[in-house]
Amino acid sequence: MLRKKASKGRLGPQLKNKLNIMFGDQADQVIEELKSGKMTDNIKYLAFNTLLDFQPVALSEMPQKYLDSPNGRIFYQLKTFSIKALDVFRREGIQKIKSKDPKVKRQGWKDLMRLTTLFVLLNATADEIKDWIFNRDSSMTDRMIDNLMRLVGLSKYFTWQIRKEGAATAVLKLAHPPTDIVNVPLKDLDEIFRKLVDGKPMDVDVKRMRSWKLVPFVGKNYYWWFGRGAEFTRKDLRSRLLKESETRKFSKEESDAFIKSIRQDAEDGKITDKTATRQIRKFDNNQITL
């Protein structure tokens, strides 16, 4: 992008000022190198510096507390990108909006809206691809809410925990570092131990173990397509469709997916035949009355 702008002579005052700050007397030389298309040390430095503006890939982009507390860095796991994103919004938008210069203020609002739109759309697209890969069902409303909450540093995992376990539990899990690599196997071991103690070793279901999602490369796919995650997907789909069936007419494909998920859970013993029949009847009645 910078090469294209440089070759067309469209480097604005902000970009030229940034180059002057970074390279001093060599700024004009860097502009010529951009025009030429050559990969020089100056261009590599410029590219890495631009990356640092948006990605925390070096210690210089970490919070001061992170640098001062080597033993406390584990608490920043999976949070450094969110912190950097907040810094980008502050630097590119809020600081400019606070300026007394009307032009800078207008540019700040433009940059803030541009960043917000790109952030939400790109993350929503990535979420859509991930859900497709892992065979997960999610509504566009949930996806938009997730990504709007990311704007204030709250992850998709946090919003999912709120829906699943409540706000209090989600806040507690947000405060401590990720512990799934320890907790998940322990939960499986506890479940296995209880069934062995009860004299039901044949009830141990390897397919439903949570630890599948920790297996590199293929574990998450197995978990969400064939394991316990597939049960969550069917349950979420069933709950969403049952609620939506009260307000809109469903297509044949959606109706078939709903009924199939209920029958599958009944066959697997996740719900009783009576519950399955009741939910299907409720769904049919909702559709008839619309």
* Residues 258 and 287: beta-carbon distance below 8 Å: no
What range does the domain containing 16 cover?
2-52
pLDDT tens across 202-250, in order? Answer: 888 888 899 998 999 899 999 999 988 888 888 887 787 788 888 888 8
- 238 found inside a domain: yes
219 and 236: one domain? no
| Burial environment of residue 24 by CB neighbours within 10 A (0 to 12, 13 to 18, 19 or more) | exposed
- 103 found inside a domain: yes
Reported for 244-250, long-range contacts at CB under 8 A and 24+ positions apart, including other chains, are 245/282, 245/283, 245/286, 245/287, 246/286, 247/290, 248/290, 249/287, 249/290, 250/287
- Which one of 226, 241, 259 terminates a domain? 226
25: tokens are: 């007397």
115 and 171: one domain? yes
Residue appearing with tokens 């599958």? 264
- 65 found inside a domain: no
* Residues 229 and 250: beta-carbon distance below 8 Å: no
* Residues 184 and 210: beta-carbon distance below 8 Å: yes
41 and 113: one domain? no
- 57 found inside a domain: no
143 and 74: one domain? yes
Q: How far apart are CA 159 and CA 118, in angstroms?
A: 20
119 and 195: one domain? no
Among 106, 85, 82, which Cα is nearest to 96's? 106
Q: How far apart are CA 5 and CA 22, in angstroms?
A: 18
Q: CA-CA distances (angstroms) from residue 155 to 11, 61, 123, 133, 244? A: 36, 20, 11, 20, 26
116 and 153: one domain? yes
Q: How far apart are CA 270 and CA 188, in angstroms?
A: 18
Per-residue pLDDT, 140: 73
222 and 247: one domain? no
Number of domains in the chain: 4
Mark the ranges of the chain whose per-residue pLDDT is less than 50.
none
Among 114, 67, 66, 64, which Cα is nearest to 88's? 114
24 and 75: one domain? no
90 and 112: one domain? yes
Report the C-alpha dihedral over residues 211, 142, 156, 189, rounded to 10 degrees: -20
Per-residue pLDDT, 262: 84
Per-residue pLDDT, 222: 93
Per-residue pLDDT, 110: 92
143 and 75: one domain? yes
Among 168, 131, 127, which Cα is nearest to 145's? 127
